[in-house]
Amino acid sequence: MAGDEEPTFICRKGFHAINVQAVVDANLSFTNIVVRWPGSTNDSFILTNSSLPNIMEGTDGWLLGDSGYPLKKWLLTPFAQPSNQQEQRSYYYLLLLYNRAHCSTRNTVERAFGVLKSRFRCMHKTGGTLQFGSEKCIKIIECCFRLHNKAILDKIPLQATNEAAVPVFHHHAAYQGNDNDGLTLRQRITQRF
C-alpha cells in the first residue's frame, strides 16, 4: 500500500490492516462478510454501508455486536457502565447478567476468527503480512473466509499446533444513544434475567 491512501490502512493498533465485518453462526461458519474497507474505518460506518441493515430489517432475528457497533432493534450490544444512580441500583445485577450472556454468546464470533486465523496464518500477525496491494489482499482474505467455510462444512479438523491462542481485541467506541428501538428491546430482554 503506497501513495495517499496508505495512512487510512493503519488501524487503531498501529499496523496496516483491512477492517473486516463478519456474521458468524453457531457452527463457526461466516454467513456474511464485508472485506473492503481500510483498517482505520469505523465499524459503524462499515455496518451502515453494508447489506446487513436491509437484510436484518426484514427479519425477526437479532445479531449480537460488540460495543463498537450501534444499538439497533436487530443488533444487540452490551450495556456500558450504568449512566445514573437509579440504573446502577435497580438494574446493575440484571445488566451484569445480560452482559455476561451477551459476551458468552458472542464468543462464538471470537472462536470463529481464532479458527480462521489458525487455519490461515497469513490472517494472523504471527504469520507475517500479505505483501500485496490492497485489492489483492482483499481477494486473499475473502478466499480464506470461503475456504474456512468449506472446511467447516466438510468437517476438516484443524491441525494441532503448540502455538498460543489468538488474542481477542474489543472495540468500545460507538455511540449507543437513548432514542433508539434497540434500547427498548435490550431493556425487555434484560428483564428476562
SS3 content of the chain, % helix, strand, coil (to 5): 45, 10, 45
The C-alpha cell that represents 83 in the structure block: 449512566
Distances from the Cα of 100 to the Cαs of 110, 154, 173, in angstroms? 15, 32, 19
Calpha distance 93→2 (Å, rounded): 50
Cα-Cα-Cα-Cα dihedral sign, residues 16, 125, 131, 68? negative
> Would you say residue 147 has pLDDT above 90?
yes
Q: Which H helix or E strand runs over 18?
A: strand 18-24
Least confident stretch, 28-42, 87-101, 104-118 = 87-101
How large is the average pLDDT for residues 21-44?
A: 94
CA-CA distance, 78 to 80, in Å (whole number)? 6
105 versus 125: the higher-pLDDT residue is 105
Going by C-alpha positions, the residue among 118, 114, 110, 121 that lies closest to residue 158 is: 118
Q: How confident is the model at residue 33 (pLDDT cuts 50, 70, 90)?
A: very high
Average pLDDT over residues 132-150: 94
pLDDT in tens, 36-50: 999 999 999 999 999
Residue 169 has a pLDDT of 53
| pTM confidence score | 0.74
- What does the mean pLDDT of the chain come to? 83
